[in-house]
């Protein structure tokens, strides 16, 4: 006779647990294999799982998917397949089962229950098997253990239990677990390969770039990826990394097919998702932004190399991978070289709001930056980019989505040895006396003339290529240095045009330059 002892301290027990056969007699075991996983950067993965079935009938799989709502599909050539998720009692080794339910684990076994307190006699009898509550997955929080003794039924308060001895308990216990059932329709084939495809959470990749500028004319760019598997064990699955702007509107809504999701959960998630068009995580590195949010106007080229057809999602294969759940993988996935130019970029933000009123602004900072074209055969995705030179760290900034052959400007570090100063003031005169008034939309504006000056000093020994971008609201009257003037996208429909002046100049070591400009602006009274 074999006896095991279980110690229960503060144990909460379930009253309405029950035992049923492990599976129906007409269910055949089958094994699915994940043969491919395509990874987004936002925690979503596209899973491809293959299962080989025999003749018509019902097959049971241990692995149950947790798909995003509306993304679970079954492909089966020549035969229909119905899919179900059902609860089954499964025998699990005690060492792997974790803390369980004494009523269910020891149902039908002879037990001796030792109670707290020196003078209390143990309860000896058979642990009763209990019928289920309402519903296949019903769980009740039982206060008592029910034991059939020689004298009758005994209700043992779980809080009084100190230890339980069980005779012939065996090495396994029964656990209630979800299982996936595939019912194959009529077919004359000996084998039918069924493919399950779905989007799910639990596996993703994080990109990064290293840009080496040890060579003064040619940079070396490497794209790295970190893959982390929190989904399930993979054995030789083809893995691809996706770059692009995926639209997954229901990414936070789990399918009603998933275990643990009832209609209440489903409708709650359906109604409470934060954004109807939420596509990716809000973190700027995860969000697939195209180009720098503050678009650079440094004579950049928007030309690119044609790379394919269809939707703008790039799939980068990294081969077959075997990864256990919890594993991480870091690897280099691409390298390239490109000519580059070092520049110093100074962006002076607009100092007026949309009503033309002067606001607390900033002169902006001058930044050392790199201007180059994407040398890879596929798009550079939004990711952190680290710049090094001669093995030394120079800086790290976000690199935004850039097509092959498209030019980009990447900031590296603040140019502290390039001093800058920006000043502006309204000019007293006829336009500022209040007689030159304009009425727009029932509101009165006065036309004001503004004069400004930009000063930049190069405190370095070597010469620099300098780019100055002065943003302003209104209409340009004059400017020294013949800057290029462009209308900013955000100012197309504002009362005052939102413009930007751009100077590109070469500065010698120790040189200082100044540029004066004048513009008019409508100021709301």
**Where do the domains of the chain lie?**
3-197, 341-524
Predicted confidence at residue 15, as pLDDT, reads 33
Burial of 120 (0-12, 13-18, 19+ CB in 10 A): exposed
Per-residue pLDDT tens over the stretch 347-402: 999 989 888 898 876 788 999 999 999 999 999 999 999 999 999 999 999 999 99
* Surface-to-core class of residue 289, CB atoms within 10 Å of its CB (0-12 exposed, 13-18 middle, 19+ buried): middle
Taking the C-alpha atoms of residue 385 and residue 173, their distance in angstroms, rounded to an integer, is 52
Joined tokens for residue 403: 């097509």
8-state DSSP, 435 = -
pLDDT at residue number 6: 41
Distance of CA 7 to the CA centre of its chain: 43
Tokens 């055969």 belong to residue: 377
Question: What is the β-pairing status of strands 328-348 and 366-373?
Answer: antiparallel
The mean pLDDT values, 10 residues at a time, for the chain of 525 residues are 42 36 69 96 94 93 93 91 89 73 83 88 90 50 84 91 84 83 91 95 96 97 97 96 88 92 91 53 45 45 56 90 97 97 95 86 89 94 96 95 93 95 83 67 89 96 95 95 90 84 96 96 91
Residue matched to tokens 């004048």 = 518
- Rg of the chain (C-alpha set): 35
pTM equals: 0.76
Site of tokens 């097959």: 59
Q: Could you give the maximum distance between any two Cα atoms of the chain, in Å?
A: 110
Predicted local confidence at residue 305, as pLDDT: 59
Residue 21 token pair: 């056969």
- Using alpha carbons, list the distances in angstroms from residue 293 to 47, 160, 350, 373: 33, 65, 15, 18
Q: In 10 A of CB 283, how many CB atoms?
A: 10
Tell me what pLDDT residue 135 has.
45
Write the DSSP assignment of 161-211 as a string of letters: EEEEEEET--SEEEEEEEEEEEEE-----S-EEEEEEEEEESEEEEEEEEE
Compute φ and ψ for 78, nearest 5 degrees: 85, 0
How far apart (Å, rounded) are the C-alpha atoms in residues 484 and 322?
55
pLDDT at 159: 87
Report the length, in residues, of the chain.
Answer: 525
In angstroms, rounded to a whole number, what is the distance separating the alpha carbons of residues 241 and 316?
5
- Side-chain half-sphere of 133: how many Cα atoms within 13 Å? 10
């Amino acid at each position: 006779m074999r006896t095991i002892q279980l110690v229960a301290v503060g144990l909460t027990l379930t009253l309405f647990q029950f035992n049923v056969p492990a599976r129906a007699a007409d269910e055949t075991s089958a094994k699915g294999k994940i043969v491919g996983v395509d990874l987004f950067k936002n925690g979503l993965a596209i899973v491809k799982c293959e299962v080989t079935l025999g003749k018509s009938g019902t097959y049971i799989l241990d692995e149950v998917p947790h798909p995003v709502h509306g993304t679970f599909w079954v492909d089966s050539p020549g035969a229909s397949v119905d899919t179900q998720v059902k609860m089954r009692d499964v025998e699990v080794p005690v060492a792997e089962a974790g803390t369980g339910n004494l009523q269910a684990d020891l149902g039908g076994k002879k037990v001796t229950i030792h109670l707290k307190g020196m003078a209390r006699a143990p309860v000896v009898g058979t642990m009763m098997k209990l019928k289920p509550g309402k519903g296949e997955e019903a769980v009740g929080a039982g206060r008592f253990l029910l034991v059939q003794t020689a004298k009758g039924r005994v209700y043992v308060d779980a809080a009084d239990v100190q230890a339980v001895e069980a005779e012939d308990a065996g090495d396994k216990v029964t656990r209630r677990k979800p299982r996936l059932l595939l019912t194959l329709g009529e077919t004359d084939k000996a084998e039918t390969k069924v493919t399950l495809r779905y989007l799910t959470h639990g596996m993703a990749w994080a990109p990064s770039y290293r840009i080496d500028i040890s060579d003064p004319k040619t940079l070396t760019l490497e794209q790295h990826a970190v893959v982390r598997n929190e989904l399930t064990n993979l054995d030789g699955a083809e893995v691809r990394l996706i770059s692009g702007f995926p639209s997954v509107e229901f990414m936070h809504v789990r399918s009603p097919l998933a275990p643990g999701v009832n209609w209440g959960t489903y409708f709650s998630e359906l109604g409470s998702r934060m954004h109807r068009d939420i596509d990716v995580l809000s973190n700027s590195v995860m969000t697939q932004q195209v180009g720098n949010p503050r678009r650079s106007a440094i004579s950049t080229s928007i030309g690119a190399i044609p790379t394919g057809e269809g939707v703008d999602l790039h799939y980068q294969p990294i081969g077959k991978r075997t990864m256990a759940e919890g594993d991480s993988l870091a690897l280099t996935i691409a390298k390239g070289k490109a000519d580059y130019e070092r520049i110093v970029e100074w962006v002076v933000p607009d100092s007026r709001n949309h009503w033309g009123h002067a606001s607390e602004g900033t002169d902006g900072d001058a930044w050392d930056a790199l201007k180059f074209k994407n040398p890879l055969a596929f798009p550079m995705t939004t990711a952190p980019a680290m710049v090094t030179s001669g093995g030394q760290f120079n800086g790290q900034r976000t690199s935004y989505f850039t097509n092959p052959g498209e030019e980009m400007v990447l900031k590296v570090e603040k140019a502290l040895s390039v001093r800058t100063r920006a000043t502006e003031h309204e000019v007293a005169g006829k336009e500022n006396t209040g007689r030159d008034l304009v009425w727009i939309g029932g509101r009165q504006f006065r036309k004001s003339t503004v004069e400004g000056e930009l000063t930049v000093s190069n405190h370095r020994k070597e010469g620099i290529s300098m780019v100055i971008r002065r943003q302003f609201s209104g209409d340009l009257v004059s400017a020294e240095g013949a800057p290029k003037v462009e209308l900013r996208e955000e100012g197309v429909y504002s009362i005052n045009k939102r413009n930007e002046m751009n100077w590109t100049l070469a500065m010698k070591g120790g040189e200082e330059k100044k540029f004066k400009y004048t513009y008019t602006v409508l100021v709301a009274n």
